[in-house]
Structure 1
Amino acid sequence: MAAKRSHEDLDGIHESRQPQVHRDDPKPAKKPRREGPPKIRKQVHASSVNAVKKRIRDVTRLLSRSEDLPADVRLENERALAAYQQELNAADEEKTRQRMIKKYHMVRFFERQKATRTLKKLKKRLLEATTGEEVEDIKAQMHIAEVDLHYAHSYPLNERYVSLYPPKGAEESEDKQKDAVKPPMWAEIERRMEEGTLKELRYGVREGHVEKPKTVRQKPATTKPRLASETQNSKKRAEPGERVGQKERVPEPQDYTLNRRERRKAMIKTGALITTKAAKKPAIHEPMANEVDNDDNGSDGGFFE
């Protein structure tokens, strides 16, 4: 066996592949990073707002221009217009909600963290309290801190957020912060805490709002109604051989240890299988044979007699 040649002795590399084989800089393992901020992808709503607006324009033009529309067609278009308008309002509300969440996310987060820290400090002070007046005072402060925490968390997401605490540049003492007037939503959240309906308030469900029950539309029956003549014909077809009943009959268990001929003989003996064609067909010519016999028995003589 010939010795293997070294890599330096190989001269069979094509000129086009010389830069790929004999190059000094190694191939980068990863793609180079892009410089600059990443591109913000536009969020697309589930139901396109532009498509809904186009449908509203089309239906509005149809109702305004054609005055001679039938009553049922006009009613159907008016219902469709109301549904499209409701869908457009829902899309606008969702768009506003997403914008408010993005705008006030950091403010809500910082105020939630501040209320959490205040609540932890008050719990430690409560364990160290000795007098009854001090305990009552700390419990009242804890209640305010809990409401502040729920305020930052359960404030309606589709509304402009009103901050609880003064801005960073303002210099106020703790006593002034305690005596500061709370926003109107603070009392609403305090009441909702007792009722246990903070989730509805967070997602924009206010008092007097009643959710409509979801109606399930039943699809119309696709099968055509059978005529009386078709039912009579089906009955007539089923009468002579009674094959409909034979299909519904449950077959008897068979012994598959026997071969086909032995099983056939066993079925003939038990009557499960009819072999002759004459036995399968109804006896049509029997009345004629009986008539011939009766004529022979009661004959008065004939040509051959």
Structure 2
Amino acid sequence: MNTKEVYTNQIKTEAKRLGFLSCGISKAQFLEAEAPRLENYLNKNMHGQMQYMENHFDKRLDPTKLVEGSKSVISLLLNYFPQETQNQNSFKLSKYAYGTDYHFIVKDKLKVLLNFIQTEIGDVNGRAFVDSAPVLDKAWAAKSGLGWVGKHSNLLTQQVGSFYFIAELIVDLELEYDTITTNHCGTCTKCIDACPTQAITEPYVVDGSKCISYFTIELKENIPTEFKGKFEDWMFGCDICQDVCPWNRFSKPHNEPLFNPHPELLSMTKKDWHEITEDVFKKIFKDSAVKRTKFSGLKRNINFLKD
């Protein structure tokens, strides 16, 4: 076994110990196939008011411009599929937002992994990324053999599905690189057929500016009235395209206590949500990603769902 293989095995073993679902590694280089797709996406304004997506175009496509001297992108998946879901008579939250904000949890695990690499392997420089920098997470995870990008544009993995967070360590260390896996969507169009706002305009293309997640989280102004009655009770995010995906029948509950919801969250009814006060909002979503939309944003979303 050569040095690169030894280092790679050490990193993957530690990632597993830290609770990551899986770990894949690819060579840090320009994402040639992604460049025209990203350009087309931006040119067609599919990012809506998410102006930040226009920034750092070169860095999004080339990690060596993001992290000087980088040689490897270590991609990691962390399961967030919950044991229990919300009350049937409730306005819905995307499952990823049930517990503590994932940015903190995943970032902490990445820091431990990077520290492990520096302690066990030596003078390695790198940076941790959790959905908060110009990194094309799904492209790198697919390149690293962790799954394929489905027709709903989410990463899919056989025997696991898609309810997981994707994160990266970009490091200046050469490692053994994984190979790309095959696409297993076949002729299935369940995600396309189920999207109530028709945000999946064609297989593998999602118009972000029509997505329920965009409207309920990213959009800061009023939701366009043309989408009234199409949200199917989603007040923060949306899981429809994932819920209908056949691969998610393999999803298994996570074992991360910090992802467990506040006890009151699962029992709240539509009536409770209509009557929610700012104090209750702060209590239930104290460390949650839902804080991003603020109390006023969540109230706007709930009011939009009224008949």
With a CA cutoff of 8 Å and minimum separation of 6, indicate the structure with the bigger relative contact order: 2
TM-score between the two structures when normalised by the length of structure 2: 0.18
- Quick check: which one's strand share is greater? 2
Q: Considering only CA atoms, is the larger Rg found in Structure 1 or Structure 2?
A: 1
- Quick check: which one's helix share is greater? 1
TM-score between the two structures when normalised by the length of structure 1: 0.18
